[in-house]
Amino acid sequence: MADNFDVVIIGSGPGGYVAAIRAGQLGLKTAIVEKDKKLGGTCLHRGCIPTKALLWTAELYAHITHAATFGINLANPSIDWAQAQKHKQKVVDKGAAGIDYLLKKNKVTVFKGVGKVAGKGKVEVTLSEGGKKEVLETKNILLATGSVPSTLPSITVDHKRVLNSDSILELGVVPKSLIVLGAGAVGTEFASIFNQVGSQVTLIELMPNVLPIEDVDISKELEKQLKRRKIEVMTGTKFQKVETTASGVKVTVALPDGKEQVLEAEYFLSAVGRAPVTKDLGLEKTNIKPTPKGTLEIDAMMKTSEPNVYAIGDITPYPMLAHCASAQGMVAVEHMAGKNPRPLNYERIPNATYCYPEVASVGLTEKKAKEKGYDVKVGTFPFSAITKAAISNEGIGLVKIVSDKKYDEVLGVHLCGPHATELLAEACVALQLEATTEEIARTVHAHPTLSEVMHEAAEATLGHPIHI
């Protein structure tokens, strides 16, 4: 029997490892269990970080191909995809090493193996080396096992021609053509990567708009920009089947008018969502009952229905986002430590999609604000009127602010444009502080900067934009 712990965390993704660090800072004796060879979970190894590394390569290449516009003559630039993959791996490995260091610094004990609940206050770990089973005794258990790519029952992912978001990251070549099913964050990001490095990309989405969870005006703006970049966008289109051929894939879809169409490409990416990892966690030894979707219900402190068992991240019914999992993890361990953490307001969890142009949002869409009974006022402002955007030839997209007409409180901010994911931070602070649109408009923004678009959008919401 191993030493007693204050908390044992199963899973070392951005929820688990952040929770472990905070637990260590609070003086809790902490252990973390990870089944993979390296710490960091899906986000670091198969999600957020590797995709953004490839997106950076793709975006940089796209800018270089237009360098002559800025007075830089670069003849015949080309993509070295093998080197791009090496850069991606270097970034990932550095991140994993950083997590190792931080856990050691905060005196967190790491167990490499598969963990599961083995009863009240017990976690069984099947160690990766040798397969020996070890039982850890603990006051609290934190489940942070994340999610895996899911697909439609009719799709067989062979990781050769029919790929998911894991296997496409390991693709050794730039495809001549790629069909992407699903225009959520994952699908639009991979569509952007391969479009910018020269692939012919088709993006298929069942819903009427790409990025269906975003404000409809932002979704329409993104679709317009994707089409300008020669991505074939097929919204309102129902997938029927995919077949592999000698040279690639054939995909049959039903168009909005009901007619069938057969598409062909070298590769097919299924990007239709993710599934929580809650099987084989020993939940049968608790009174926790997963929902039909496999998620675990939690309260404001991340507690499950089983005493002293907490859950965070993708296995909960909340946004499957790394920063959401991290925030949940800190609330959970602060509660374990006897603190009084502030519950999360999930309506203020930001969304960030790193396609080109980027999309970012926080708060309510115009539609949701109206559904909640607000009398709303909105303002939009285009990046084309921002001089800093013109300097880099990125005057594309817009910002939209949704406010409450009665009190002028900012209810939501939605962006589609250059560096939108970085510009969103101001909006996150504004919503957290319950700022008004007038306060944003009266905040002096430096010139020339892209952030001026936020100031102008606030002025537009108030009815008097300056530069348009």
Rounded CA gap, 134 and 3, in Å?
Answer: 11
Tell me: pLDDT of 1 over 60.
Answer: no
Q: Each residue of 230-259: b (16+ CB within 10 Å) or e? A: ebebbbebebeebeeeeebbebebeeeeee
Rounded CA gap, 145 and 148, in Å?
Answer: 10
Instruction: Quote the Cα angle for 30-32-36, to 5°.
Output: 165
Backbone angles phi, psi at 383, to 5 degrees: -65, -20
Span 25-44, pLDDT tens digits: 999 999 999 999 999 999 99
Tell me: pLDDT of 132 over 80.
Answer: yes
Closest CA to 273 of 187, 214, 144, 204: 187
Whether 4-148+275-346 and 162-272 share one fold: the answer is: yes
> So where are the chain's domains?
4-148+275-346, 162-272, 357-461
Name the one residue in this structure whose structure tokens are 């770990």. Answer: 125
Closest CA to 399 of 387, 372, 384, 417: 417
Partner residues linked to 269 by β-bridges: 163, 180
Tell me: pLDDT of 467 over 50.
Answer: yes
Instruction: Quote the Cα angle for 170-175-181, to 5°.
Output: 80
Span 196-222, pLDDT tens digits: 999 999 999 999 999 999 999 999 999
Give the chain's length: 468
Q: Give the chain's mean pLDDT.
A: 97
pLDDT given for residue 3 in this prediction: 66
Q: Which residues, including other chains, have CB under 8 Å from residue 58's CB and lie 6 or more apart? A: 192, 193, 194, 195, 196, 197, 356
- Taking the alpha carbons at both ends of the chain, their separation in whole angstroms is 70
At residue 424, the 3 state secondary structure works out as helix
State the average pLDDT over residues 311-319.
98
87 belongs to the catalytic site: no
pLDDT given for residue 53 in this prediction: 97
Model confidence at 466, pLDDT cuts 50, 70, 90, reads: very high
Model confidence at 2, pLDDT cuts 50, 70, 90, reads: low
Tell me: pLDDT of 158 over 80.
Answer: yes
DSSP H or E stretch at residue 126: strand 122-127
State the average pLDDT over residues 378-389.
98
Question: What's the whole-model pTM score?
Answer: 0.96
Q: Which residues, including other chains, have CB under 8 Å from residue 96's CB and lie 6 or more apart? A: 38, 39, 40, 44, 45
State the average pLDDT over residues 381-394.
97
State the average pLDDT over residues 442-449.
98
Two tokens at 418? 């250059």
Catalytic residue (one of 66, 445, 447, 455): 447
Name all contacts of 165-171 with Cβ < 8 Å and 24+ positions apart: 165/46, 165/47, 165/51, 165/190, 165/269, 165/271, 166/46, 168/267, 168/269, 169/46, 169/50, 169/51, 169/54, 169/88, 170/85, 171/267
Superfamily of domain 357-461: FAD/NAD-linked reductase, C-terminal dimerisation domain (3.30.390.30)
Specify burial of residue 136 (Cβ count, 10 A radius: 0-12, 13-18, 19+). buried
Q: What topology is assigned to 162-272 in CATH?
A: FAD/NAD(P)-binding domain (3.50.50)
Rounded CA gap, 455 and 451, in Å?
Answer: 7
pLDDT given for residue 343 in this prediction: 97
Tell me: pLDDT of 419 over 50.
Answer: yes
pLDDT above 90: percentage of residues in the chain: 99
pLDDT given for residue 399 in this prediction: 98
Rounded to the nearest 10°, the torsion over CA 312, 318, 321, 326 is -30
Model confidence at 75, pLDDT cuts 50, 70, 90, reads: confident
Span 233-272, pLDDT tens digits: 999 999 999 999 999 999 999 999 999 999 999 999 999 9
pLDDT given for residue 141 in this prediction: 98
Please check whether residue 113 is in contact with residue 125, taking contact to mean a CB–CB distance below 8 angstroms. Answer: yes
Span 108-119, pLDDT tens digits: 999 999 999 999
Two tokens at 248? 């690639």
pLDDT above 70: percentage of residues in the chain: 99
For the sheet with 249-254, list strands across it. Answer: 238-244, 249-254, 260-265
Superfamily of domain 4-148+275-346: FAD/NAD(P)-binding domain (3.50.50.60)
